[in-house]
Amino acid sequence: MGGLAKGLAIIEAFSPHRTRMTVSDAASASGTTRASARRCLLTLTELGYLDFDGKYFRPQPRLLALSSAYSGPRSLPQLAQPFLKAARDELHESVSLAVLSGDKGLFVARSEAERLVTTGISLGTRIDLYCSATGRVLLSAWDDERLAAYFDRIKPDVRTRHSIVKKAALREVVKNVQKLGYATIDQELEMGLRSIAVPVVDERGNVVAAMSASTSTARVSTVQMINSFLLVLKANAAGLGRLTASLITNRDDRVDLA
């Protein structure tokens, strides 16, 4: 099963920003040795998941089959789509849904606005919890012990000059999200980008996902974003939360998306 875990780590390393990898790239991204990464890459190529041109490995359409677990008739992404679309139509901004995936937020549904904000976010994108609005909302549902363990093991990266990387400051940010019930980021992920996120809470009070909207700093200030976006996101997140009773929630308070 160790080989399976390494192969999945390599698959997850591909993203909109990393559409091709060498053996060295894959080894570094997945935390494996070059030999292990090479074996996994060649196996994935042989199975048709990747293509190899002699230097770079690239994803092939067969990888899309792995997303079929999300296409069940009662999956969270399918339940979420009408609410994301409703919020997008009212706000005229792209609206996304993220769930917990280890120490990252995994984007599982999205409704794109016509005027796109370049965020690099697409279905399957995974972003560190500490630096994203959705991630901070997901973190806000954790108790003190779980949060302490999380901050002990992460190493925050500087993404822009606005990035918050001191762990004490990040802890305060999460505590503030717990009090306010929403999270915002202002050019911490990308210059020119602001985002706001709210929790999706099921009938048992569990935070099962985070719904967010992103906008350009040239169009909307942080105050305007809070005043204009918050009620719309909260209303649609509440509607989605009421529907999640039909989904299975596991012991880690994460929704079964299958």
CA dihedral for 190, 110, 100, 10, sign (positive or negative): negative
Alpha helices in the chain (DSSP H): 2-13, 23-30, 34-46, 76-91, 133-139, 144-153, 167-180, 222-243
Q: Which domain holds residue 15?
A: 2-66
Residues 174 and 112 in one domain: yes
Query: Is the Cβ–Cβ distance between 150 and 103 less than 8 Å?
Result: yes
Distance CA 79, CA 222 (A): 29
pLDDT (tens digit per residue) in 195-209? 999 999 988 899 999
This prediction has a pTM of 0.70
183 domain-assigned: yes
28 or 246, which is more confident? 28
Q: Among 48, 66, 84, identify where a domain stops.
A: 66
| All residues at 6 or more sequence positions from 146 whose CB lies less than 8 Å from its CB, including other chains | none
- Residues 179-190: pLDDT tens digits? 999 999 999 988
- The CATH number given to whatever domain includes residue 171 is 3.30.450.40
Instruction: Summarize pLDDT for 64-92 with one digit per residue, the tens.
Output: 656 555 554 458 888 999 999 999 999 99
CA atoms of 20 and 14, how far apart (whole Å): 7
Q: Judge whether 139 and 150 are in contact, CB under 8 Å.
A: yes
